Each structure stands twice: as C-alpha cells, then as structure tokens.
Amino acid sequence: MENTRILLEQNEIPTHWYNIVADLKTPPAPPLGPDGQPATPEQMGVIFPGAILEQEMSDQRWIPIPQEVREIYRLWRPAPLVRAVRLEQALGTTAKIYYKYEGVSPAGSHKPNSAVPQAFYNKQAGIKRLTTETGAGQWGSSISFAGQMFGLPVRVYMVKVSYDQKPYRRLMMQTWGAEVFASPSELTQTGRAALAENPDNQGSLGLAISEAVEEAASRPDTNYTLGSVLNHVLLHQTIVGLEAKKQFDKIGEYPDVVIGPCGGGSSFGGIAFPFLADKAAGDKRAENLRCLAVEPTSCPTLTKGAYAYDFGDASGFTPLMKMYTLGHDFMPPGIHAGGLRYHGASPLVSQVVHEGLVEPVAVSQLATFEAGVQFARAEGIIPAPESCHAIRAAIDEALKAKVTGEPKVILFNLTGHGHFDMSSYERFFSGKLEDYDYPAEAVARSLEHLPKVG
Amino acid sequence: MENTRILLEQNEIPTHWYNIVADLKTPPAPPLGPDGQPATPEQMGVIFPGAILEQEMSDQRWIPIPQEVREIYRLWRPAPLVRAVRLEQALGTTAKIYYKYEGVSPAGSHKPNSAVPQAFYNKQAGIKRLTTETGAGQWGSSISFAGQMFGLPVRVYMVKVSYDQKPYRRLMMQTWGAEVFASPSELTQTGRAALAENPDNQGSLGLAISEAVEEAASRPDTNYTLGSVLNHVLLHQTIVGLEAKKQFDKIGEYPDVVIGPCGGGSSFGGIAFPFLADKAAGDKRAENLRCLAVEPTSCPTLTKGAYAYDFGDASGFTPLMKMYTLGHDFMPPGIHAGGLRYHGASPLVSQVVHEGLVEPVAVSQLATFEAGVQFARAEGIIPAPESCHAIRAAIDEALKAKVTGEPKVILFNLTGHGHFDMSSYERFFSGKLEDYDYPAEAVARSLEHLPKVG
C-alpha cells in the first residue's frame, strides 16, 4: 500500500521560524504613526511585549522557536502532509495533489501556530492578561487555547452577531477558560459609546478590535494579540511551510505550485514564504515555482485593491501600513468565509505580490463550496470555508494539468476543518448562497478615502 | 524534547482484526429468534451481507482486513497514541497516562472503523443502498462518510428531536451525500403509524431503528447497518487496540490499566479486547492487566443490570441476545452522552464482564464533564461526552497511583472530539446538568419485563 501521509516525529518540529524580510528585494515600508512618521517601538510597546516587537521589526532570516513553544506545538505538530490520491482519481488528473492539514490543532486551524508564541512571549514579559477580538471565532478560540497553555487569562471581544449565532465557538473558548464578551460591550468606552448610540448594535470586527485594543492600551498588565496581517504573525506561521519542505524532502518531491487562501495573509504566508526562501536562495527546484494567494471575488484585496498606505482597522486607530487595500471603510458583504473578509492584506504578502513573486487569484463563493464538497467526498475531511478557496485553486490547477498532461506537483494549505462552519454548508446546500463580485466602481469609491501620506 | 506522540506509518495499519470469540472460556450464547431457537443466518441475511454474517458468527481468532478497507482507513489511520504529559503534571501523578485518539477520523470518532468495512462488504455483495438510524449523530455521520467512499447511497433515519436540535450533524451527513430523514417519517409503515397516532412525535432511537430495519427488510437491494453491540462491529473496532499495542511495543511500554467508555460496547471492546488476547495467551505483561468499562450512573447496564436474554431494541423486533441489560423498555434520562444511552451492552463485552475479565465502573455526569474540561485545559483537545467517561476513570486511576506512588501505565480510548457536542458543555457550564443515579427499584421494575426464554 502506497504511503499517502508523510509524517514527521516531534523532534523534527523546526527549531527556527523563517523571516522573509531577509530575502525581500527592498526593505519593507515601515508602519507610520498618526504624525505620518514611522511608528516607534515605544508606541507599539503599549500593546505588545518586547520580544514580539523585535520580531515585528527584525530582518534576521532565522528566528529561534523557544523550547516552551515547541513543547506546546507538539500537542498536534508536526501536522501531516497528505497526498490526496482519491481527489486526484476523482479529477482524473496527471497532477499530484498534496495538502498540509492544519485542522489537527485543538482549535481546528493554523491559528494556534501564532497564538502559542504570542501567549508565551506575553507571559514571559510578566503580562497578566491578553485581549483580542474575534469574528468567525478561529482566532479567539486559538488564543483562548494558547492562553490556557501558559496560565494566562484571555478576554475575547466577539462581534455580537457571531456571539449570538456561533454559540459553539464561544463555548470552545470558555472550555479553555477564556472570558468572552459580546461586542459592543459595557466594558470599554468604545463599547459604551456604540451602545449609547444604538442599544441593538450588532457589532463589527472593527469595533471589536477597538474594544480589545482600548482595554490593552489602558492597563499596563494587559496586552493585545492579533491573529494575522502583522509580520510576527506571518513569521510564526512559516512553521507550516517549513514542515512541508521537510516532508517533501522525505519523499524526494518538490511542489510546482504552492497555494494558500488569503485574507489577512497568515495562512498564505505560512505555507508559501519558506518556498520563496528557496527561490531567493537560487534553489534550482524553485526556479519555476508558482505561488497562488487565493481570495474571494467578494473581497478582492489583492486583485482589485490599491498598493498604498492605509489603516489596519475601520476606525483609523492603528498605524498606517503599506499594503494592498480596498480602503479601510470597505464593507465586505456577509460571505461565509469570515476569515477572508478583511479590507487589507498583510504588508509582507502585499509586497511579494507587488514584486511579482506571488500570483493573486480571486475565486467566487459557489465555486469554493463546490470544491469543498468535492474534497470532502473524496478525502473525508470537511474543510473550513476559508480553506475551500485554496482547494478551488488546487482543483483548477489540477484540471489544467489534466489538459496538458503535465505531472504537476500541487501543494495547498488546508488551513482548518469546517466543524464550526456547517451553517455555511447549510446555506450552500439550500441554495441560499450567491456569487458576488465586488464591483470595481465601489472599490474605486472606497479607495478615495485612503489616508493622505507624506 | 521527549516524544509524546507515538506514530505509525500507514503500512503498519494492522492486516487483521482480532476476534475475541476464539479466546473466550465458553462459546458465546447464540442470538435467539422469535421462536426461542438460535437465529439462523437466513433470518439475519435479510438485512446483512454474507461476509458480515460470517464475521458475526466466526470463531476464528484473526480475520483479514480487506485491502480496500485499509486504503480507506489510511485516510486517518494509524491514529496517534499520545502521552498526556501535561495532564499528568496537572494531576501531579506518578502514573503515565496514554490515550489513543480516535477523533482524527473524518467523522470525528472511532465509529468509521466499523462503518468502512460494513460499507465495503455491502458494496461487494451488490447492495445498492444502506439504511441506518442515528441519535446523537456519530454513527449516522460515520456510515454516511463510509458509503460515500464506496459510492453507496445511504439513508439515515435521525431521531426527530436530534434532527431539529443537531442540524450540524445532519449537514455533515449531507455533505457526504447521505439522505437524512427525521424519524418518525412518512417513508415506512412504522413511521406512518407513529405519525398517525401523534403528528408531533419527537421520535426515539428504538423507533428510528425500526424504520431503518423495515426499509432494509422490505427491499432486496437495501441493507441495514448498526454501529455497536454486534460481534462484527466489535471485531472491526479492535483495530484501535491492535494499533495501540504496536505503538506500546515501539516505546517498550505496556499498560497496567486499559479504559474505554461503554455504551453499546464497541469503543470499550475496540481498545480492550486486543490486550485481553495477550492475557489469554499467557503473556506475562498482561498478567495483572485491569480493563475498565466505564458507563454512566444514569444508564448503569453493566453495574446494575441483569445478565440475561433480552431484545436489542425497544419494540422487540430484533433477535434476543444474552447480555447485561436494564430491560428493553428501560427509558434512560436525557443525559448528554447520547452514545451511552443504551439499555443493553454488547454480548461479547457482557460475557467478559460476566467472566470477571473486565471491571465495570459507573461514573456520574458532572464528574465526567469536570474530567473533560480538565483534559481540554491540559491537552487541548475538547473530548466528546462519551469519551469524558473514560477520562474520568483514567484521572481517578492516576490519582490513586499518586497516593500509592506507583508508576502505573494507564491507557484510555479517547473515542472522539466534542465539536458537535458543545451544547452539552454549555449545559454543564451553565449549571443545567445534574447528576442522576438510576434507582435500583426502577431497574428492578423494568427487569420484570424481560422476555421469557426456554
């Protein structure tokens, strides 16, 4: 029987994360403070510990993973690299399709890869509590889990509509000991103001971010955590691609195409950056490597946005970041891949797209669920809606290879399972989901509100 | 870094299941037909294919696993054996605690271990459709998945109250292509009669079984599948213990105590029987081995039931089986480990309990959830309520070892994750769950209705 799951032992968990900053053609544009000047470490130190700030600004290629973090990683890592033989057969393709399965983590996605080190560094810095926001609930549950691992209490501001509609995600966080509040809440000035204006406010991710940041900024013993976009988050996620490379080495293969879903950018960067490292190092195998960052047509940041300085949040609280953006007041429609509904994209992913190292791809909602169902029926695992974007692109690449007869090797990041997203599948099966291409005119309008810089 | 996950490669998936019948002191008492005579293969052949019937009646010790079944098993097997180091530390015990994690299957539990071969043998026999019933949804989703793997349509009769309250389990089955009907349904005579009597009938497991069996018995191209109790199901589940033994061999350990939750009996038998095989073979390591079958105090089949012939279902449709039973009209209260609410227990598990090879243990509901939450906070994984019963007993054993200072090796079957059971955790956290010891008088009353035999 042919081996279709490539496993690593726990002592093969990588000892270092890979920092792509060391290999970029030009240094990343710095985040800018309210005065238009580069944000200082002091400004950001209010909500992040020193070790995280150092990583955020580092240009070192390899950054050691603390032993304490590896000891938590081993609860589920190394994650398997799996050859999707039954999917290949269903497609009749000449391609080999591999997926890196991150749904094996306790929280069910790749998010704990960064939640664990974030909790660790904060604990180490003497911080007594973490705050964060969560929409769909993936990040909130991951930081709740990670906080529990280091005995660090966690407060999650959960967008009210999700709080009410996704009680199971909330319960998951509570099982790991976190306090979960519907946002807007009475706990912060931002929340109280929003409720005073409208007691029925259903919340938004922007508002929840503001509440979590406000609490962290106002208490010296409390820090804020973020699950995507920032450099240190993408750094932590490179564990995904680094493990995949070791696994490919074991079987003497190398991918021709590497695919990740792309919202804030951490799942794409996590799988793709370590392969881009090979390209930067002149590795022959990576010479013709293609990397696809897959986003929804309803939130087409990389394919239709501008590459410009913009706020990371809706209300203009964060520093300005140079990135692909649809404008910080862009309101994405209520599509069912909550994790991909972000107006911007990680500055690092934006830069490699801008430099032409990565191809952005936009896929429509129905086609992603069709791909997800096809995958579940072939391979068993029911994927998260975010992951379905990568599956769609992987299937499309495999079908192209079928036409040309090429023996392509395709790798994608199966970022999580869909156990807490079955209501999205329900909407798909019952015909309630629709395709939605965000219109170019609307993008143009929200881009008019980009902040003026310099 | 010490290795805490003991992995096997796919080619180490066992090639044979273990049949404990070969090692019993006396041959199992045969199932009896309506006439009080041993049920004939012809009678049972109406709803089962020949290969399954052969396994049901076999006394061969080793039964080969078809290659086609191993090829599906490898989608998630071998399942990891994990040392719960963080739980040990939290308990301060001198014991080593290992768990075999069956939640890695696509359906999230051990149930596909039998669903896959059942689908395979039916497909091979030319059967065109499978029927089954489901309550909590674990078995229904497993057979839906397995049917899809062999292109065999599946119809699931889902107890109406679960159908309404557990839409995500239903959607999981639909994602794998199954048809799911609320039971009672209009599709069977049984269902129509129940609805005629009471249009608001919320259904019961017994009624759903009757509907699924009726459809299978009335169509020659349709067969019925059952997820526990029967010999062939326990046979298939021995893959769990057989893998665990290989994994212990790798690290040169052997358990002193083997623990499984026990409802119908397949999760307990699956992990324990292969270790009992060592005991039967005179293996020195197994000389003092203890096996604990853990049931809820609210459904105390093994600890308070009678060892007698009884029906497998509520309405007296099935053959009579010799087993521990609380009486077939026993109505368990609505506890939140749906998989353990069965009035009887597998005849094979019953026999090894009766022969004194296995210790039955009953644990109360609140104590099991406390154990489950403690486990989740130490090890990450949120366990299914059924699995919490085994965790409770494992923790209790570890605490005993702490007192005596013994370096006990404890193994338990972590049969599944709780991703679809978070509403039970909600009831636990909100104080809505209560302990309930089924009263001895009530057991005595329902035992008065045991069928007369001979």
- Which residue stretches of B324-439 are H helix? 347-354, 365-379, 385-404, 422-429
| Nearest chain A Cα distance for residue B144, angstroms | 10
pLDDT at B395: 98
**Distance separating alpha carbons of residues B111 and B416, to the nearest angstrom:** 9
The DSSP symbol for A27 reads P
pLDDT at A330: 79
The residue from A203, A226, A249 where one domain ends is A226
Looking at the fold, whether B212 and B320 belong to one and the same domain comes out as: no
Burial classification of residue B423, based on how many CB atoms lie within 10 Å of its CB (0-12 exposed, 13-18 middle, 19 or more buried): middle
Percent of chain B with pLDDT over 70: 98
Looking at the fold, whether B217 and B257 belong to one and the same domain comes out as: no
**Distance separating alpha carbons of residues A246 and A9, to the nearest angstrom:** 11
Percent of chain A with pLDDT over 90: 81
Give the pLDDT mean for A158-169: 90
In-domain check, residue A48: no
Structure token pair of residue A233: 């988050």
Does residue A273 register a pLDDT over 90? yes
In-domain check, residue A362: yes
* Higher pLDDT, residue B433 or B10: B10
B78 preceded by a cis bond (ω within 30 of 0): yes
The secondary element (H helix, E strand) that includes residue B122 is helix B112-124
- Which residue stretches of B281-344 are H helix? 301-304
Q: How many domains does chain A have?
A: 2
A425 to chain B, any CB pair closer than 8 A? The answer is: yes
pLDDT at B328: 85
Report the b/e string of A192-228 with b at 16+ CB within 10 A.
Answer: eebeeeeeebbbbbbbbbbbbbbbbeeeeebbbbbbb
Looking at the fold, whether B88 and B154 belong to one and the same domain comes out as: no
Looking at the fold, whether A218 and A245 belong to one and the same domain comes out as: no
Give the pLDDT mean for A136-145: 94
In-domain check, residue B28: no
pLDDT at A365: 93
B373 to chain A, any CB pair closer than 8 A? The answer is: yes
Tell me the pLDDT band of A338, cut-offs 50, 70 and 90: low
Tens digits of residue pLDDT in B240-281: 999 999 999 999 999 999 999 999 999 999 999 999 999 999
Cα A447–chain centre separation: 23
pLDDT at A52: 96
Looking at the fold, whether A413 and A316 belong to one and the same domain comes out as: yes
Give the pLDDT mean for A328-356: 82
Tell me the pLDDT band of A436, cut-offs 50, 70 and 90: confident
> How many inter-chain contacts (A to B, CB under 8 Å) are there?
113
In-domain check, residue B269: yes
Q: B312 CB contacts (<8 Å, ≥6 apart)?
A: B229, B318, B319, B321, B328, B344
Tell me the pLDDT band of A452, cut-offs 50, 70 and 90: confident
| Nearest chain B Cα distance for residue A145, angstroms | 7
Looking at the fold, whether B385 and B406 belong to one and the same domain comes out as: yes
**Distance separating alpha carbons of residues B443 and B441, to the nearest angstrom:** 5
pLDDT at B111: 98
Structure token pair of residue B450: 């045991």
In-domain check, residue A41: no
A105 to chain B, any CB pair closer than 8 A? The answer is: yes
Q: Which domain holds residue A204?
A: 112-226
CATH of the domain at A187: 3.40.50.1100
Looking at the fold, whether B374 and B292 belong to one and the same domain comes out as: yes
Residue of A nearest to B421 (CA): A168
Tens digits of residue pLDDT in B134-176: 988 999 999 999 999 999 999 999 989 889 888 999 999 999 9
The residue from A184, A202, A226 where one domain ends is A226
Tens digits of residue pLDDT in A397-429: 999 999 999 999 999 999 999 999 999 999 999
**Distance separating alpha carbons of residues A237 and B437, to the nearest angstrom:** 48
**Distance separating alpha carbons of residues B135 and B336, to the nearest angstrom:** 12
pLDDT at B35: 85
Give the pLDDT mean for A298-312: 94
Cβ distance A246 to A24 under 8 Å? no
User: What count of Cα atoms within 13 Å lies in the side-chain half-sphere of residue A49?
Assistant: 20
Does residue B337 register a pLDDT over 80? no
In-domain check, residue B55: no
Looking at the fold, whether A308 and A354 belong to one and the same domain comes out as: yes
The residue from B207, B226, B245 where one domain ends is B226
Give the pLDDT mean for A248-276: 97
Least trusted range by pLDDT, from A39-48, A173-182, A353-362, B88-97 = A39-48
A70 to chain B, any CB pair closer than 8 A? The answer is: yes
Tell me the pLDDT band of A337, cut-offs 50, 70 and 90: low
- Enumerate the residues of chain A whose CB falls inside 8 A of the CB of residue B433: none
Kindly report the pTM of this predicted structure. 0.97
Looking at the fold, whether A265 and A155 belong to one and the same domain comes out as: no
Does residue A93 register a pLDDT over 80? yes
pLDDT at A1: 81
Give the pLDDT mean for A167-175: 95
B45 to chain A, any CB pair closer than 8 A? The answer is: no
- Enumerate the residues of chain B whose CB falls inside 8 A of the CB of residue A168: 419, 422-423
**Distance separating alpha carbons of residues B63 and A186, to the nearest angstrom:** 63
**Distance separating alpha carbons of residues B303 and B255, to the nearest angstrom:** 24
As a whole number, the mean pLDDT across chain B is 94
Does residue A151 register a pLDDT over 90? yes
Tens digits of residue pLDDT in B368-423: 999 999 999 999 999 999 999 999 999 999 999 999 999 999 999 999 999 999 99
Looking at the fold, whether B72 and B119 belong to one and the same domain comes out as: no
Contact check, Cβ <8 Å, B148/A377: yes
Does residue A446 register a pLDDT over 90? no
pLDDT at B443: 87
Looking at the fold, whether A389 and A358 belong to one and the same domain comes out as: yes
| Nearest chain B Cα distance for residue A334, angstroms | 20
- B 204-263: CB under 8 A from A: none
A149 to chain B, any CB pair closer than 8 A? The answer is: yes
The candidate with the shortest Cα–Cα distance to A395, out of A90, A102, A79, is A90
Tens digits of residue pLDDT in A231-248: 999 999 999 999 999 999
The secondary element (H helix, E strand) that includes residue B175 is helix B167-175
pLDDT at B315: 74
Tens digits of residue pLDDT in A32-70: 988 889 988 888 777 899 999 999 999 999 999 999 999
Structure token pair of residue A451: 């902040």
Counts for chain A of helices (H) and strands (E), in that order: 19, 15
pLDDT at B335: 57
The candidate with the shortest Cα–Cα distance to B388, out of B276, B259, B236, B255, is B259
Contact check, Cβ <8 Å, B382/A175: yes
Looking at the fold, whether B271 and B347 belong to one and the same domain comes out as: yes
Distances (CA, A) of A363 to A101, A396, B240: 21, 10, 41
Does residue A274 register a pLDDT over 90? yes
In-domain check, residue A408: yes
Q: Is beta strand B62-64 parallel, antiparallel or unpaired with respect to B16-18?
A: antiparallel
In-domain check, residue A422: yes
Contact check, Cβ <8 Å, B149/A380: yes
